[in-house]
Structure 1
Amino acid sequence: MNGRKEFAAILFAAITILALAIVPTGATAQIAPPTVSKTVNPTDIVLLTEETTITLTIQGTGSEWTTSVPIDVVFALDSSGSMGWNDPSGLRKTAAKSFVDKLNSTTDQAGVVSWDNNIDFTQTLTNNFSLVKSKIDAVDSSGGTDLNVGLNAAISLLDTGKQANSSWVIIFLSNGQGTYSHSTAVVAANKGYTVYTIGLAISPGSTAESNLKDIANTTGGKYYSSPNATNLDAVFNDIYKEVVTSTIPHYVDVLEVTQSYIIDESSFNVAPDNVSTDQVTGETTIVWNNIGLLSGDGDPDLSADEIVTLSFKAKSSKSGMNLDVDVYGKAKVNYKDSNDADGGSVLIPQAKIDVKSARWLKQDAIAELEAINTTSKQAQHDINKAIKLIKESLNPALWVDDSRLDPKHGHKVFDREKHAVKELLKIVEERGKHADAAIVDEVKTVIDKITKADELLALIAITDAKNAEIVDPKFEKKVEQEIAKAEEELAKAYQALGADNPDKAIDHFKLAWKHAQLAIKFAQGLC
């Protein structure tokens, strides 16, 4: 072989391979995306110590069967003589016409092939369904059986009349063994034509059945056995459900991704399939797979009448207003079609929370005290004194940021808070003497807010101590000892709160904070 001929042979082989690889598949339906909503409750929480409940609601959508994708279907009906006794009442024709009645004349087309050992007649693809049904009625029962003849004629009708964006389907019905070549089915498959075959009164395991199964398997269709003609209506209905496409999302997976500062995700109403935290970004991914199974019917779909609710609790390690809960764009709901092929995804909407810091809580306490209306001069005096003390605790010189105190002078914040609480406790303890009974509950709420702020200051200091890098290993034990003492004081503070002694609790929160500060100093080698 000379060089030119060798190059031509290689080029022809390459083109042939490429042509075989590019096989049209017809149109597929768009799967309807589920509807996803998200809420948080409450929308405002306290840093580190309070939880919010995050709730995802996923509602299914779509319809079970839709012809939103145009269908081009050819009815290739056996008209051999044996049909005279296998289908004497022409039930194959009745079932085919019932199928036609389900089609949409504005989008779909149908054609007919009447075949035996020859072609009796064909009807080209048309949306004139009255004409199609009259042609179906004209199918007779005479002649032999040649499957290749009937299948080739059906292929030709699709070749010449199919729509570019349609599903291309052949319904091929036969009741006997006849001439058949596998290559005929390969031609249909390479053109993207799906063939559904029906064996009427054909013996299981026979060559006739094997031929029809081969056609269906080769083209991606399905073989149906109909022992007698009375089964044909059900068979055609089942094929209709196969041909048209369900737009209901299936195999729906939820991937919730929370921000790095959203922590302690827990109390799931439905146990997730996986929870993982990225060690680099700190983002947590929570996965629920195939949530359609949770809808109650045990199916992997999520139809319009099915709703799945997923919820969990979480805290925040970051304070601020209008903070994002999700990592928007990463948090999504993925879904597939009924054949387990990718259907798309929906982004989970964002939800926002306000997270209060220690300083924010103290400012709230002041505002709430200033709003209290009392007729008791003594109670008003105690309130005014408490307000003054809380304001002194907010001196910027005592703070590093909204949740951290100056290591040297921060203890003064706790001292001011303790005295403020003592003033307010006078109102609570002397209830009925000089205070309006109506304001006692309001005062208790403010006391709780103040102690919550001091708890927060202690907790963050302990967290900072645990995260501090120890510059000199010789201080490692000292760091551990001070953290342990801080946690002991924290436990005592909680005991005091449980015994309804908030002023004593603040003393222990202060000591916990002090031990944490010492741990940080040891870690930094400053002691």
Structure 2
Amino acid sequence: MCKSTLQLTIILLCIGVLSACDNTPPLERTTISDQARLTGTFYTESPDDLVFPVKVLFAIDCSGSMGAAGDGSDPSNRRLAAARAFVDQYNGYPNISFEIMLWNQGIYRATQVDGDRGFTKDPGEINNVLANVVNTGTTDYVGTIEAIHEDIARDIANVDTHESLVRTKYVVLFFSDGLDNVPGVTGQRVSETLNAISDITEMVDEEGVGDFTFNTIMLPGINMT
């Protein structure tokens, strides 16, 4: 092929390529956005339909010293009368329930629900526990707090939905007239007692409970006469 013929061929190819480029659609301009708009309807729950359960656990010391004379003793069982008055005042609210736990060196009586210790609104069950008090035995803080842990954990497991659990509040009222006293155990086990309470706090946090408070009522600081 001569030089002039080669040049002509190259020119014709270039013209063809340019013509093909002219026939392509123009480049599309695009934009990048990190925002979006949604439309729809959001239905909130009616406040009248929401339930905020409050579950109150009375852990009442019934060791032998409670029936003796001295500071903090309660031979007339006024602490039980106070618990009964509290229940009578608030049991009319549908979202409040109660567990009564009587303890000394162990749990010797408590409100029953389906064969286990638990929270109830049944006045007969509550009064049956409060009416059968015997002040005897020693004072086991750690064992009692572990029983409280067990009962709250069982109740949490029986809550139907997580939505209900996050609205639930547990309140413990721990009555005692003295320090932890278990036969054969040296010392007052203060650290063990505090650790047992911390274990409950960690458990309810992990389960997503709405609120938990552990209140101690030390009777020696109260005039029971």
Give the TM interval when normalised to the shorter protein: 0.5 to 0.7
Instruction: Compute the displacement of 1:108 (Å).
Output: 1.4
State whether residues 110 and 129 of structure 1, in contact with CA within 8 Å, keep that contact through their aligned partners in structure 2. Answer: no
State the match for 1:194 in structure 2.
Answer: 213
CA distance in 1, matches of 2:62, 2:131: 11
Deviations 1:233-255 (A, max 9, x none): xxxxxxxxxxxxxxxxxxxxxxx
1:130 partnered with 2:118: no
Query: What is the TM-score normalised by the length of structure 1?
Result: 0.25
Which structure has more RCO (C-alpha within 8 Å, separation ≥ 6)?
A: 2
State the match for 2:104 in structure 1.
Answer: 116
Give structure 1 stretches of 5+ with no counterpart: 1-29, 31-67, 202-224, 231-527
CA distance in 1, matches of 2:94, 2:224: 31
Instruction: Compute the displacement of 1:126 (Å).
Output: 1.1
CA distance in 2, matches of 1:152, 1:70: 23
Identify the match of residue 77 of structure 1 among 39, 42, 60. Answer: 60
Deviations 1:277-300 (A, max 9, x none): xxxxxxxxxxxxxxxxxxxxxxxx
State the match for 1:169 in structure 2.
Answer: 171
Identify the match of residue 89 of structure 2 among 85, 89, 102. Answer: 102
CA distance in 1, matches of 2:93, 2:121: 5
**Aligned letter for 1:189?**
T
Deviations 1:433-475 (A, max 9, x none): xxxxxxxxxxxxxxxxxxxxxxxxxxxxxxxxxxxxxxxxxxx
CA distance in 2, matches of 1:153, 1:167: 18
Instruction: Compute the displacement of 1:144 (Å).
Output: 0.2
Instruction: Compute the displacement of 1:73 (Å).
Output: 0.8
CA distance in 2, matches of 1:78, 1:126: 20
CA distance in 2, matches of 1:177, 1:166: 31
- SS where residue 172 of structure 1 aligns? strand
Determine what percentage of the aligned residue pairs are the same residue.
26
- SS where residue 74 of structure 1 aligns? strand
- SS where residue 183 of structure 1 aligns? helix
State the match for 1:139 in structure 2.
Answer: 133
Identify the match of residue 184 of structure 1 among 196, 211, 216. Answer: 196
Q: How does 1:55-94 map to 2 (within 5 A)?
A: 69-85=52-68, 86-94=73-81
Deviations 1:159-210 (A, max 9, x none): 2125523210111000111154121010122125311111111xxxxxxxxx
Q: CA-atom RMSD, angstroms?
A: 2.0
Query: Looking at CA atoms only, which structure, 1 or 2, has the larger radius of gyration?
Result: 1
- SS where residue 133 of structure 2 aligns? coil
**Which has a greater percent of helix?**
1
**Aligned letter for 2:78?**
L
Q: Would you say how many aligned residue pairs link Structure 1 and Structure 2?
A: 140
Deviations 1:460-501 (A, max 9, x none): xxxxxxxxxxxxxxxxxxxxxxxxxxxxxxxxxxxxxxxxxx
Residues 71 and 195 (structure 1 numbering): CA distance in 2 closer, same or farther, change over 3 Å? same
Give structure 2 stretches of 5+ with no counterpart: 1-46, 112-117, 160-164, 181-187, 206-211
Residues 102 and 69 (structure 1 numbering): CA distance in 2 closer, same or farther, change over 3 Å? farther
**Aligned letter for 2:196?**
T
Query: What is the TM-score normalised by the length of structure 2?
Result: 0.57
**Aligned letter for 1:118?**
G
State whether residues 69 and 166 of structure 1, in contact with CA within 8 Å, keep that contact through their aligned partners in structure 2. Answer: yes
